[in-house]
Amino acid sequence: MNAGMDIGLIGGAATLRALTGLLRGIDGLRASPLGDLASALRALPAISCDLLLVEATDPAETAYAELALLAPGAAWVALDPSDDPQRTAAWIEAGASACLALPGADSLQLQHAMAQAMAVHASHAALRRRHDDLRGVFERAPLPMWVYDLATLRFLAVNDAALETYGYSRAAFLALTLYDIRPAEDHAALRQHLQALPPGPVDAGLWRHRAADGRLLNVEISSQPLHFAGRSARLVLARDVTAQRRAMHSLEASERRFRDLFEQSLGLICTHDLDGLLLSVNPAAANALGYRVADLVGQSMYNVIPPSLHAHFREYLQRIARQEADSGLFYVLHRDGEQRIWEYNNRVLQDEAGNRFVMGHALDVTEYRVYEHRLRQQQAELEAVNDGSPLGLFRADPQGRYTYVNRAFERMTGLRSDEALGQGWLRALHADDRDRVAAQWREAVAARTRFQSRHRYRPDTGQTVWVSLQAAPLVVEGEITGYAGSIEDVTARHMVEEQLRRNEQRLRTIADALPAMIAYVDAAQRFQFVNSAYEHTYGGGRGRIVGRHARSVLGDAAYQRRLPFIEAGLRGQHVVFEDEEERDGGYTCLQITYIPQWDDDGRQVLGLHVMAQDITRQKIEERRWIQAAERDSLTGLTNRAGFLVRLERALARSRDQRSLLVVMYLDIDRFKQINDSHGHAVGDAVLKTFAQRLLAVLRPSDVVCRLGGDEFTIIIEGMRRPQYASAAAAKIVAAMRKPFLLPNDLTLAVSTSVGVAVTMNEADLSPAQLLERADAALYEAKSAGRDGYRVRGAAAA
């Protein structure tokens, strides 16, 4: 008993005296007589008691129930004149925390009854607080929750979040059943779910619910059994994922587009962390280094950087971490040891977790840099030859002022050397050329570059002299110390060239007006003439074809295709043929004619007149008709006709190469039910989504076909082991188990059955027999319960 406890005594005078006597021996208690029951009920609102000792006469008397209302914080002991156990139970039911037979009771028994009453009252108070707490958690939970009766499916309780989400009042919601918040088309699935409902908790599942205003909500439902108000019931937690599902669908589409861009891009793309560890590499970058993607991901970039450049690479990592952007050249090692040059442009980004990483894009410029180096060498050699020419020579300072001219220069310009120094040489220029040449010379000096010009001089004799002038800067230890140049008298050549130019201009005007590409190639296979159409196609319209070899202009691949026809033309044959190629990201087909050009005696072929007509549009139209005949109009996949052609070719390659060939025959489980339940528009949408998922999980080299209806076939070549066929089939089955998100917020559960036929080194096997093997395996998969696969052939993989 607690010291300082306040005790209220209720009863007649005799009872109060008896209680006072029993309590006298107990220390620390404060007893207050409250009179009979009626008097006590009037006094209790004004006083505070921890425990009431109540003379109890009739358990049916309703006044005893008021004790708990007027003194909710006090326990009370019923002091009954009888020791009948049944009366004890009645007093407990009436609200007493304990009961004691008063006649013959001693102080110890009274203490025991009082302690029992206090303990029971404290326990009941704790239970009430816990009940209030749990009720508060349920009512104020942020996610919708409700309780429904397992027998009637009627709602027994609902929290505020559910009422807000579904738009009902509490009374309206509690008048509903589980079927009332489901669309009618989902009732059958709900019945099946309830029939298969396990007795224990059920993890989250995706359902459609209908709100009070008719909106369809996508919700994740989890539930667990409980007893509520004496009934078998289930507590349900609902999570509205409508917006999340839309966002996931959009995110999946975005990720698919990014993945296609990353994997199909011809650019060299990779990501690495700030320590140089490769996080991702696209196929183009891996192939450029002679590796597979899997070989590089997770490796340090130090492994593909020449050891002599590791220090520079560390500086790059420090620099991009500090500046968050960097560009320049990487020297990387191909798998075969060859050093390649990549021109990169990288930036630092952050992932969702805030981790920084580097996204890089690069171009392989190895060949370009080699070509550039060779060009610089050739230019240096040519400049050395020009600078040493015994023609008109001159020197100039870094500002372009002449400091020396030789006698040949004096003779061509008609100026003495002292007259030509400084800017004096400009006086010898023809009046029509003076301003142009002076401006160009100033520009070249300002840009510190070489200078070339063809212009006229008017020496004292009055005869116009055409000269070709070339000048080059003199570089010593990286500094330009001046310029050295030469001039050559090209008057006679200029006259001939002018005549040839006029003749050629007339011929070119005619040739350029023709819609065909026209050219002339000499016996050494070097271009001597091209019209504008040919120049635009192969030279980019920049005058880079004449004088070049056919291989250099056409490229190795096109040159090798046309070489037999070129050789036939140079042997004197009139040749007409078609040449197809993929160029500049597109398809081109040309009809090419080679006409031999004989010498005057008709004994030797001097070259070939070339005429090429673009017949791409005709060829594309022919291809389009062929492709249309082998393409399924709904899914865009290869149709039955195309499949049979590809299967025959694949089987022939398998026999020739003794390689593994896998054919899969699959369909959509219970597709007829989907069509019957949702209509053919939904069925078509399911077929399209099914086809897209097949393409997503298979390799780009695998052939995916739709035979018709919901029947699909797949041809897989190049598998190294038969067991991989089972893995591919399992991957397809798993991919189809994800819900199909269709138009109008319709979500369907779809599965597939797959029959797998495997063959290797079966010389007498026909395409029809291989397809029958796959069909038989499909029948086995369906007989085994659908949503799975079966394999036949190659020891059943």
Q: Which residues pair with 683 in a beta bridge?
A: none
Which amino acid is located at 23 in the chain? L
- Please check the confidence at residue 346 and state whether its pLDDT lies above 60: yes
Domains annotated on the chain, with CATH: 5-137 (3.40.50.2300), 141-240 (3.30.450.20), 247-364 (3.30.450.20), 381-489 (3.30.450.20), 507-620 (3.30.450.20), 630-792 (3.30.70.270)
- Please check the confidence at residue 8 and state whether its pLDDT lies above 60: yes
Closest CA to 246 of 222, 210, 217, 215: 217
Q: Which of helix, strand or coil describes residue 644?
A: helix
Q: Which residues pair with 209 in a beta bridge?
A: 217
CB proximity list for 23: less than 8 A, separation 6 or greater? 7, 29, 31, 107, 110
Taking the C-alpha atoms of residue 24 and residue 22, their distance in angstroms, rounded to an integer, is: 6
Closest CA to 24 of 110, 118, 117: 110
pLDDT of residue 160: 87
- Please check the confidence at residue 336 and state whether its pLDDT lies above 70: yes
* 509 vs 192, more confident: 192
Q: What percent of the chain has pLDDT over 90?
A: 37
- Please check the confidence at residue 796 and state whether its pLDDT lies above 60: no
| Whether the Cβ atoms of residue 615 and residue 588 lie closer than 8 Å to each other | no
- Please check the confidence at residue 387 and state whether its pLDDT lies above 50: no
- Please check the confidence at residue 510 and state whether its pLDDT lies above 80: no
- Please check the confidence at residue 379 and state whether its pLDDT lies above 90: no
Taking the C-alpha atoms of residue 354 and residue 89, their distance in angstroms, rounded to an integer, is: 67
- Please check the confidence at residue 362 and state whether its pLDDT lies above 70: yes
Q: Which residues pair with 347 in a beta bridge?
A: 325, 359
pLDDT of residue 58: 85
| Whether the Cβ atoms of residue 668 and residue 690 lie closer than 8 Å to each other | yes
Instruction: Look up residue 22 and give its two tokens.
Output: 């029993």
pLDDT of residue 667: 95
pLDDT of residue 734: 95
Residues 367, 372, 376, 378: what is their CA dihedral angle, to the nearest 10 degrees?
Answer: 50
Which amino acid is located at 457 in the chain? Y
* 157 vs 541, more confident: 157
Taking the C-alpha atoms of residue 635 and residue 688, their distance in angstroms, rounded to an integer, is: 5
Calculate the average pLDDT of the chain: 85
Which amino acid is located at 505 in the chain? Q
Model pLDDT for residues 116-130, shown as the tens digit of each residue: 888 887 777 776 776
CB proximity list for 756: less than 8 A, separation 6 or greater? 662, 663, 664, 725, 726, 729, 774, 777, 789, 790, 791, 792, 797
Model pLDDT for residues 425-447, shown as the tens digit of each residue: 998 898 889 999 999 999 999 98
- Measuring CA to CA, how many Å separate 474 from each of 374, 384, 396, 439? 20, 11, 10, 21
pLDDT band at 662; cut points 50, 70, 90: very high
pLDDT of residue 125: 73
pLDDT of residue 204: 60
| Whether the Cβ atoms of residue 589 and residue 613 lie closer than 8 Å to each other | no
Model pLDDT for residues 716-768, shown as the tens digit of each residue: 998 989 899 999 999 999 999 999 999 888 999 999 999 999 998 888 899 99
CB proximity list for 348: less than 8 A, separation 6 or greater? 274, 320, 321, 324, 325, 356, 357, 358, 359
Average pLDDT over residues 335-350: 90
Q: Report how far Cα 594 is from the mean position of its chain's Cα atoms.
A: 50
Taking the C-alpha atoms of residue 23 and residue 355, their distance in angstroms, rounded to an integer, is: 74
Which parts of 448-544 fold into alpha helices (H)?
A: 491-513, 532-539
Average pLDDT over residues 208-234: 89
H and E: helices and strands count for the chain: 26, 32
| Whether the Cβ atoms of residue 717 and residue 661 lie closer than 8 Å to each other | yes
Least confident of 55-64, 507-516, 779-788: 507-516
**10 Å Cβ neighbour count for 31?**
19
Taking the C-alpha atoms of residue 141 and residue 112, their distance in angstroms, rounded to an integer, is: 43
Find the distance separating the first CA and the last CA of the chain, reported in whole Å: 80
Model pLDDT for residues 301-318, shown as the tens digit of each residue: 999 899 999 999 999 999
Closest CA to 157 of 140, 143, 170, 142: 170
Pairing type for strands 51-55 and 75-80 reads parallel
- Please check the confidence at residue 132 and state whether its pLDDT lies above 80: no
| Whether the Cβ atoms of residue 597 and residue 606 lie closer than 8 Å to each other | yes
Taking the C-alpha atoms of residue 235 and residue 166, their distance in angstroms, rounded to an integer, is: 17
- Please check the confidence at residue 568 and state whether its pLDDT lies above 90: yes
pLDDT of residue 51: 86
- Please check the confidence at residue 135 and state whether its pLDDT lies above 70: no
Closest CA to 632 of 622, 642, 647: 642
Taking the C-alpha atoms of residue 530 and residue 511, their distance in angstroms, rounded to an integer, is: 9
Average pLDDT over residues 218-226: 89
pLDDT of residue 505: 72
Model pLDDT for residues 257-276, shown as the tens digit of each residue: 656 566 666 778 899 999 98
Positive or negative, the Cα torsion across 571, 572, 573, 578? positive
Average pLDDT over residues 492-518: 74
pLDDT band at 383; cut points 50, 70, 90: very low
| Whether the Cβ atoms of residue 605 and residue 598 lie closer than 8 Å to each other | yes
Place of tokens 């880079």: 544
- The residue length of the chain stands at 797
Half-sphere exposure of 407 (CA within 13 A, CB side): 0
DSSP E strand boundaries for 134-267:
145-149, 155-158, 202-210, 216-228, 231-240
- Please check the confidence at residue 386 and state whether its pLDDT lies above 50: no
Least confident of 369-378, 414-423, 566-575: 369-378
pLDDT of residue 255: 60
Burial class (CB in 10 A: 0-12, 13-18, 19+), 181: buried
